[in-house]
Amino acid sequence: MTICYFTGTGNSLYVARRIGGDIYPISQLMRQHEIVIKDEAVGIVCPCYAGEMPMMVRDFLIRADIETDYLFLIYTYGMNYGAAFANAKVACEDGGLKLSYVNAIKMVDNYLPGFEVQNQLDTLPKKDVEGQIEKLVADIEARRTTEVKIGGGTKAKMRMQKALMADRILKRDAAKEYMVNEDCILCGNCARVCPTNNINVTDKVRFGLNCEVCYACIHNCPKTAIHLKNEKSAVRYRNEHVTLQDLVKGNE
């Protein structure tokens, strides 16, 4: 089994590892000239952003030459995945692929404008992440399939989410609005964890125009020096099973 993952704060990497198989970061695969994946089962694990997958994952599904009998896509999310399953089906079809199975694992929500991280951590036991993963793994082992129906209500949600993506939450230049304060020690961690190599650290931190809005830079800053104007949380997050080095390695 081959698993390809995208992660900002480690949730999706953790789920990818728990599913098992040969695991590859999509940020690295996307730097290859050709992406050819042939396996009996192939899985994608990524966060849900505004009911969608990261833009890089959509691009990956278009670019990658994937040959498999069993393709699955697993989102990690915090509160509500909206029409994400329908978006997964459409994204696979756009890439000429048939999605066999889709699911989502509810974990810590790292969306700083929406949630207080400490509260997310305090209420995490209620989400029973391990129980969710065990069921997911059993489904995949049994090669269960899901059918995603796209009715009128789902189409409306998908339209709304597209608008959100385009206009508000997910803009490739979103990082232009990140603020770096005087606590920054120019350590470069933000640049090393960025899946799109969008950050350059010299005498100051500079953000480019290819942000995935994964918040890896913000959550992994050792000095909490990177901020959003509208953040609701002073606390930062990385999945407890994932190290800073794991994230850096995934982007090398």
Ligand X SMILES: Cc1cc2nc3c(=O)[nH]c(=O)nc-3n(C[C@H](O)[C@H](O)[C@H](O)COP(=O)(O)O)c2cc1C
Residue 123 or 145 with smaller CB distance to ligand X: 123
Provide, rounded to whole angstroms, the least separation between the CB of residue 112 and ligand X: 7
Residue 68 or 110 with smaller CB distance to ligand X: 110
Please name which of 80, 76, 79, 110 lies closest in space to residue 233, comparing C-alpha atoms: 110
Burial of 172 (0-12, 13-18, 19+ CB in 10 A): middle
Say if CB 87 and CB 31 are below 8 A apart. no
Residue 98 or 168 with smaller CB distance to ligand X: 168
Contacting residues toward ligand X, per CB under 6 A: 7-12, 47-51, 76-82, 107-111, 169, 213-215, 239
Cα(123)–Cα(199) distance, rounded to whole angstroms? 33
Cα(118)–Cα(124) distance, rounded to whole angstroms? 10
Residue ranges of the alpha helices (H) in the chain?
Answer: 11-19, 26-29, 55-63, 84-94, 117-122, 124-127, 129-141, 152-167, 189-193, 216-219, 244-251
Strand partners, 101: 72
Provide, rounded to whole angstroms, the least separation between the CB of residue 246 and ligand X: 11
Residue 95 or 250 with smaller CB distance to ligand X: 250
Residue 8 or 43 with smaller CB distance to ligand X: 8
Provide, rounded to whole angstroms, the least separation between the CB of residue 69 and ligand X: 27
Provide, rounded to whole angstroms, the least separation between the CB of residue 168 and ligand X: 10
Provide, rounded to whole angstroms, the least separation between the CB of residue 96 and ligand X: 26
